[in-house]
Amino acid sequence: MIAALLSGALFAALLSACVAVWTARRKGREEERARQRDLFAAAFEAYAAYKELPYAIRRRRHDEPAAERIRLSETIREIQGRLSYFLAWTAAESSIVGDTYATLVRELRKTAGGAMRQAWLDAPIQDDHAMNIPLAVIDLAALTPLEEAYSQAVRDHLVALSPWWAK
């Protein structure tokens, strides 16, 4: 009788330990996915901030050119720093996502960077009707397939981190 009670108690203790370990591993895996999801979203946010710079430069204040040069230069410097940070971090988290992000940023710097150079050469916008900037002036459509590739690489990476029963 005592042996049966002890074996039942031992079985219950082992079962409780297994459930506790499984629950802790599941929670840890969910937290890791959430951390990486936030990282990859923040990396895309830095990308999107840089992508907006040609518009910001064209819409700079015309009445304070020196102040606007300083303001926009500091903004560009800060965003460039964030892009470099996320290039390193995404590569450390996943070589596939990191490579995809690096390709996206390289094309961003080429495409949006060219639009920024032209925006600095052009006169700042001075009236409301010029606020709508046509595609003939700034065309960043070449970035769309690379944005989709980055999003897909992130999705694939996060799915691979999912437990087998959640796939």
Residue 114: pLDDT above 90? yes
Whether the pTM exceeds 0.75: the reply is: yes
**Percent of the chain scoring above 70 in pLDDT:** 80
Kindly state the DSSP code that residue 83 receives in the 8-state scheme: H
41-86 pLDDT per residue, tens: 999 999 999 999 999 999 999 999 999 999 999 999 999 999 999 9
85-113 pLDDT per residue, tens: 999 999 999 999 999 999 999 999 999 99
For CA atoms 75, 80, 85, 89, the dihedral sign is: positive
pLDDT score for 130: 78
User: Domain boundaries in the chain?
Assistant: 39-166
Angstrom distance (rounded) from CA 153 to CA 167: 16
Angstrom distance (rounded) from CA 72 to CA 85: 20
DSSP class per residue in 26-74: HHHHHHHHHHHHHHHHHHHHHHHHHHTHHHHHHTS-SS-HHHHHHHHHH
